[in-house]
Amino acid sequence: MATLFDAAQNWLNQDPDAETRAELTALLASAKAGDAKAEAELQARFDGRLQFGTAGLRGPLQAGSMGMNRVLVAQAAGGLADFLKGYDKEPSIVIGYDGRKNSDVFARDTAEIMAGAGIKAYLLPRKLPTPVLAYAIQYFDTTAGVMVTASHNPPEDNGYKVYLGKANGGGQIVSPADKEIAALIDKVATGNIQDLPRSDDYVVLNDEVIDAYIAKTASLAKEPQCDINYVYTAMHGVGYEVLSKTLAKAGLPQPHIVAEQVWPDGTFPTVNFPNPEEKGALDLAIKVAKENNAEFILANDPDADRLAVAMPDAQGNWKALHGNVVGCFLGWYLAKQYHAQGKQGILACSLVSSPALAEIAKKYGFQSEETLTGFKYIGKVQGLLFGFEEALGYLVDPDKVRDKDGISAAIMFLDLVRNLKKQGKTLSDYADEFTKEFGAYVSGQISIRVSDLAEIGKLMTALRHTPPTVIGGVNVAQFIDHTKTDRQSDILVFVLENGSRLIARPSGTEPKIKFYLDARGTDPKNAEQVLAEFDEGVRHILRQDAYGKQDC
């Protein structure tokens, strides 16, 4: 126990934050006084370290090595600085942050430590979308970038996303860079963060790079002006300012806004989870849409790198479109344009996204590629024309950024709507035409959230060692374990005889295991029936003893 108390005291001695210092002081005192609950909590706070990986860092805002706090961020910045000095003779970095609690504090700590290490550091001037940071890396040709954000995670979380520029292209880090940075962070963590040199000799940027991003994004809009009646929500995030200015620059109509959610608020008071995919997240937007008889809803997640779209059905019931639907709508729209222009290149999506994109690519003579999950892999595709992932991430202008971009995706979606209106068509017409051209593809997802991360490993092991041979009355024709392929990733794929596909993988950013379901039918109604039977079959499998009787 002395070791645990020593670790906590050592952490406490370094902590420059009054709030987490008070929190840890009280917890340590209670644990020393014999409070078993406090002791267990202290043990959990120091049971290892929040791991730095290809998603950077992400975790709860709390004191201790298993939380996001100023000590951990300083250690990460110190390790990253050491990496950059070995990576580039004249290293530089640009740093951005969103509206979550302490995002600005973590960003300034990073800027000071980078400057103290002799690295040219630029700090974005205020809370801004992740795509602006991704663009700034290329704009200033920096060695790296850091975005302080937890994207669409719960309110109590924050995160630290790392990008590499120059020869690496400005995308998120991939292996082996993540492992090399992690090792250097661990080395810094053996010392005291108070020994890390700091300097205020960093540049706080003006609006030049923001204006450049807006101008380049606005240039995507090329269709004739027309009225569009739609609703937008920023989900309490940082998207509205940049999107609104981009719309104005592009000559696109402004939306009805969800006033309660339009400005940054790290407490996310109107939603349980600030993720447009979550049940209930779009309720306020739907209310505004009904009041204004809107055609559709656009929603960004809190750091505005994702885009959600919702539409009313024939009965007037509002429903969010699956990310695969939006991805294929945009992919089809762009593929037709690029084909007409004689362009060559690749349409790419993550392997858990819709197989329909490959059919689009084939029809128009483009190559297609399925990458590992995570936009960092899509951004690495050479010759990329368009990329998407089913989790609402789209890249419509890869010459500008190498990451998903919810602002540019919104501009492109609005241009698609203008193109349809020019032809006297609606989004529903477009959906019908897509089905006639490529078939009816439908997707679903089952997510199992856990309190103990070990449960994810147990379930994946059970599925790997005892794979189901029949799902929903349909035989499994092919089982692929990607730990045994060149993908080298913890992903399991089950392809059924009727062409349906189930993919299981742990989430890279949340304590979840996700099951991705893809089905195809002769028409939308038939496809939905196939998916419903498939979904029930998967849930039935997961409720069996062999898989720990999952509650799903």
Q: What is the pLDDT of residue 344?
A: 96
Residue 159 belongs to some domain of the structure? yes
- Which 3 state secondary structure label does DSSP give 122? strand
Residue 132 belongs to some domain of the structure? yes
State the catalytic residues.
151
- Which 3 state secondary structure label does DSSP give 448? strand
Q: H or E segment at 188?
A: helix 177-189
The domain boundary, picked from 273, 292, 320, lies at 320
What region does 382 belong to: left with phi over 0, alpha with psi -120 to 50, or beta? beta
Answer yes or no: are the C-beta atoms of 181 and 80 closer than 8 Å: yes
Report residue 290: phi and psi, to 5°: -65, -40
The domain boundary, picked from 438, 469, 500, lies at 438
Dihedral sign (CA 303, 309, 312, 313): negative
* β pairing state of 256-257 and 230-233: parallel
Residue 503 pairs in a beta bridge with 493, 516
Q: Catalogue the long-range contacts made by 306-312 (C-beta closer than 8 Å, 24 or more residues apart).
A: 306/151, 306/152, 306/276, 306/391, 306/392, 306/393, 306/404, 306/406, 307/392, 307/394, 307/406, 307/409, 307/410, 307/413, 308/276, 308/277, 308/282, 308/392, 309/413, 310/282, 310/285, 310/286, 311/427, 311/428
Answer yes or no: are the C-beta atoms of 324 and 390 closer than 8 Å: yes
Token pair recorded at residue 284: 């306020």
In angstroms, rounded to a whole number, what is the distance separating the alpha carbons of residues 40 and 61? 18
Q: What is the pLDDT of residue 329?
A: 98
Token pair recorded at residue 338: 């690029």
The domain boundary, picked from 206, 228, 255, lies at 206
Residues 238 and 221 both lie in one domain = yes
Report residue 83: phi and psi, to 5°: -65, -45
- Which 3 state secondary structure label does DSSP give 467? coil
Strand spans (E) along 18-119? 57-60, 92-97
Token pair recorded at residue 465: 């060692």
Residues 60 and 199 both lie in one domain = yes
In angstroms, rounded to a whole number, what is the distance separating the alpha carbons of residues 400 and 217? 8
- Which 3 state secondary structure label does DSSP give 217? helix
Residue type, 440: A
Answer yes or no: are the C-beta atoms of 150 and 159 closer than 8 Å: yes
Residue type, 116: G
In angstroms, rounded to a whole number, what is the distance separating the alpha carbons of residues 94 and 114? 10
Residues 394 and 518 both lie in one domain = no
pTM of the predicted protein model: 0.93
Q: What is the pLDDT of residue 545?
A: 83
Residue 429 belongs to some domain of the structure? yes
What region does 448 belong to: left with phi over 0, alpha with psi -120 to 50, or beta? beta
Token pair recorded at residue 426: 């609606």
The CATH code of the domain that includes 249 is 3.40.120.10
Residues 120 and 85 both lie in one domain = yes
Sheet with 501-506: list strands edge to edge: 440-449, 512-521, 501-506, 492-496, 474-481, 470-471
Residue 173 belongs to some domain of the structure? yes
Residues 200 and 102 both lie in one domain = yes
Q: At what angle do helices 36-45 and 18-32 cross, to 10 degrees?
A: 130
Residues 452 and 490 both lie in one domain = yes
Residues 409 and 527 both lie in one domain = no
Report residue 123: phi and psi, to 5°: -120, 125
Cα Dmax for the chain? 75
- Overall domain count for the chain: 5
Q: What is the pLDDT of residue 478?
A: 96
8 secondary structure, DSSP code: H
In angstroms, rounded to a whole number, what is the distance separating the alpha carbons of residues 24 and 32? 12
The CATH code of the domain that includes 461 is 3.30.310.50
Q: At what angle do helices 240-250 and 406-422 cross, to 10 degrees?
A: 40
Q: What is the pLDDT of residue 546?
A: 85
Answer yes or no: are the C-beta atoms of 245 and 214 closer than 8 Å: yes
Residue 9 belongs to some domain of the structure? yes
Residues 427 and 354 both lie in one domain = yes
Q: What is the pLDDT of residue 374?
A: 87
**pLDDT averaged per 10 residues, the chain (length 552):** 87 97 96 94 94 87 97 98 96 98 98 98 98 98 97 94 93 92 96 97 98 98 96 98 98 97 96 92 97 98 98 92 97 98 97 94 97 92 97 96 97 98 96 94 91 87 94 94 92 92 86 91 90 93 88 82
Residues 183 and 220 both lie in one domain = no
Residue 552 belongs to some domain of the structure? no
Residues 85 and 199 both lie in one domain = yes
Q: Which domain holds residue 359?
A: 323-438
Residue 352 belongs to some domain of the structure? yes
The b-or-e profile of 191-204 (16+ CB within 10 A means b, else e) is eebeebebeeebee
Dihedral sign (CA 54, 406, 268, 98): positive
Residue 28 belongs to some domain of the structure? yes
* β pairing state of 318-320 and 346-350: unpaired
Residues 195 and 76 both lie in one domain = yes
* β pairing state of 203-204 and 256-257: unpaired
Answer yes or no: are the C-beta atoms of 285 and 310 closer than 8 Å: yes
Residues 195 and 67 both lie in one domain = yes
How wide is the angle at C-alpha 198 spanned by C-alphas 194 and 199, nearest 5°?
160
